[in-house]
Chains A and B, each alone.
Chain A
Amino acid sequence: MTGIGWWGVPLAVLAGAIRLSTPFLFVSLGECITEKSGRINLGLEGILVMGAMVGYAVSYRTGDPWVGVFAAGGAGFALGLMHGLVCSLPRVNDIAVGIGLMLLGTGLAFFLGKPYVQPEASMLPSLPLGAWSTFPQVRTALGVNPLFVIGLALALGLGWAFRHTRWGLVTRMVGDSSDAARAMGYRVPAVRTLATALGGFLAGVGGSSLSLYYPGSWTEGLSSGQGLMAVALVIFARWDPLRCFYAALLFGGASALGPALQSIGVSGGYYLFNAAPYVVTLGIMIATCSPRRTLAGAPGELSINR
């Protein structure tokens, strides 16, 4: 037997974490940009599903999955722009608009995506990072989604950009104190709208990872709520792009743990494992908040901090 026995569990969790974390990574980076500018977009779930559909349809039409990825990002940008513009109107609540966008995005995706449920689009190729190993399990496990690598680079790049570039500093200032930003002559609604649209772009790309890599098809049940969880993930990561990467790996790993344990005969507690990240996030919030102090690292203008 060439099997790797019990080692299969950590390997399956690692592989699953890498495979399942890519959509988490992109939606959380997108939400991170949006929240850094002082707005919250609960509609990333709709954008994710729309991105999955558009990516799949365009890849099928053009035969090039990378065109699909960009089209998915474009669709996400458009929906994010809509959220940003509507929320720039006075007295419009960003959380309610986000939930409306969730409904609109999934509705549009299911409506327009109906003809693409059957045909087979060309998929993204996987990067063979496990080619050094003789075990076929290791090779399959380490065939990595190229978007995962791009997402990691993006997390590093965004973390640097928030600290060291003019754009990053302006975004953070708008998110921390709109008064200061106005005094400096920046247009607060414009910055926030752009940040929401960019966040939408990333969430759309995350959706295309679902339909063009894993699970790698377009169906109405494709997303299992990864877009909704983005908000929890970003809080868990304390608004830091690199920590978003770790958090996405953790959430992906938690989702992979259940099936991995089931494959060796342990089935109890599957759902409770899935909920572990939320319990930890809530625990962190309870431990670090007080009536006089909000979460460390949270943008000051965020409606959820008031």
Chain B
Amino acid sequence: MTRQERGAAAEAVVLPVAALAAAMVLFGLFVAALNQNPLEVYALIYRGAFASAFSWQNTLVRAAPLILTALCVALPAQVGLMMIGGEGALVLGGLAAAVIGHFLGGAAPLAVELAMAAGAMAVGAAWIGLAGALRHYRGVNETISSLLLTYIAIAVFNHLVEGLLRDPASLNKPSTMPIGEANMLGHLPGLDVHWGLGFGVIFCVAMYVLVARTTVGFALRIVGGSGRAARLAGLPVGGLVLAACGLGGAAAGLAGMVEVAAVHGTANASLIAGYGYGGILIAFIARQQPLAIVPVAVLVGGISASGGMLQRRLDLPDATVLVLQGVAFMVILASEALYGRLKIFRPAA
């Protein structure tokens, strides 16, 4: 590593951590203004998120879908697109998984699980790929089209879950037919956390290798830097854009499959939990780096996991953790302005 590279690496770690610390001070002032001891609040957040095997389990289960939906933002970002439609791909991927799981119900569980994952990824890839194709071939802005596609996906989802695909036995909460206990995803070996976390980590590592260590990834980043330069160099820009969007959509669709096959056992309104939007923020804080997504998602998952602890011990509303997340996101996003501006990370060459 040259001195410049070391400086940049230090900057990429120090700035977000400093921003997080600043956010914690701000939130601490907010809590103190409400006559709570900030140190006690932070101690409880730590205990609720990371102090015991049980809290780690809670944290990691929340992080799993966020890792995958963050990839749905970070991969299109490599080709310069700003996709915010992960929620729609997640919802439809979950629906596809539930349908496949029910209709293949009797087959060998591993085959059913593979089919569910493949179906969910295909649906998610098609959904986000559609937004990418509209952008590339018709010039339709992908941010808006993916947001609109999310509303359409949720409407289609509700229509099918409350109509054609509804399990007549689900009275209060319309759901699809259960996929069956035998077909549920198991736990990671040695952990009380389902395989969804494994999928997320593997997907992130694979995408890191693809983006940072292969010629395809290099081509993706050229397209992201300048579509014109990429065309002049003879790169297949359309194919690369579709590939990046398709891979991102596949990740979000897989998140839907994980929620169905490891948590709910069926597709219902619980899938529409805002994981798609959470993933956008995680991708931005990770600065669209696939490997950085994992620790950021674990941190965010931990903060949300600690809500129950704050409620039980200090009688604070469960929205406390939302406030902390909101403050942290705003400060970290604002810290983006400091990159490249601080002398200590720029050693004179």
Q: Do B322 and A91 have beta carbons less than 8 Å apart?
A: no
Question: Shortest beta-carbon distance, A93 to chain B, in Å?
Answer: 7
Please indicate the chain A residues that have their CB under 8 angstroms from the CB of B322 in the complex: 103-104, 106-107, 110-111
B144 at the A interface (CB under 8 A): yes
A289 at the B interface (CB under 8 A): yes
Q: Do A269 and B159 have beta carbons less than 8 Å apart?
A: yes
Q: Do A100 and B144 have beta carbons less than 8 Å apart?
A: no
A101 at the B interface (CB under 8 A): yes
Q: A96-B280, A99-B280, A272-B159 are in contact. Are A105 and B148 (CB under 8 A)?
A: no
The CA of A89 and the CA of B340, in the complex, are separated in Å by 13
Binds A, one of B53-61, B114-122, B133-141, B184-192: B133-141
Per DSSP, are chain B's interface residues mostly helix, strand or loop, or mixed? Answer: helix
Please indicate the chain B residues that have their CB under 8 angstroms from the CB of A99 in the complex: 84, 277, 280-281, 329
Q: Do B317 and A110 have beta carbons less than 8 Å apart?
A: yes
- Give 1 or 0 for each of A78-102: 1 = CB within 8 Å of chain B CB: 0000100010011111011101111
The CA of A109 and the CA of B317, in the complex, are separated in Å by 11
Binds A, one of B3-11, B105-113, B213-221, B330-338: B330-338
CB < 8 Å: which of B162, B320, B329, B334 contacts A103?
A: B329
Please indicate the chain B residues that have their CB under 8 angstroms from the CB of A93 in the complex: 82, 284, 333, 336
Interface size on B, residues (CB 8 A): 47
- Give 1 or 0 for each of B140-162: 1 = CB within 8 Å of chain A CB: 11011101110110111011001
- Give 1 or 0 for each of B213-253: 1 = CB within 8 Å of chain A CB: 00000000000000000000000000000000000000000
Binds B, one of A63-71, A147-155, A291-299: A291-299
The CA of A281 and the CA of B143, in the complex, are separated in Å by 13
The CA of A286 and the CA of B138, in the complex, are separated in Å by 7
* Nearest 3 Cβ contacts at the A-B interface: A104-B326, A107-B322, A275-B155
Q: Which of A's residues lie within 8 Å of B, judged by CB?
A: 42, 46, 82, 86, 89-93, 95-97, 99-111, 114, 228-229, 231-232, 235, 268-272, 274-275, 278-279, 281-282, 285-286, 289-294, 303-305
Q: Which of B's residues lie within 8 Å of A, judged by CB?
A: 82, 84, 134, 136-141, 143-145, 147-149, 151-152, 154-156, 158-159, 162-163, 277, 280-281, 284, 316-327, 329-330, 333-334, 336-337, 339
The contact sample of 28 A-B pairs, CB cut-off 8 A, is A42-B84, A82-B330, A86-B330, A90-B337, A95-B84, A97-B333, A99-B277, A100-B281, A103-B329, A104-B329, A107-B319, A107-B322, A108-B319, A108-B326, A110-B317, A110-B322, A111-B319, A114-B319, A229-B151, A231-B147, A232-B148, A268-B163, A271-B159, A275-B155, A278-B152, A285-B145, A290-B138, A294-B141
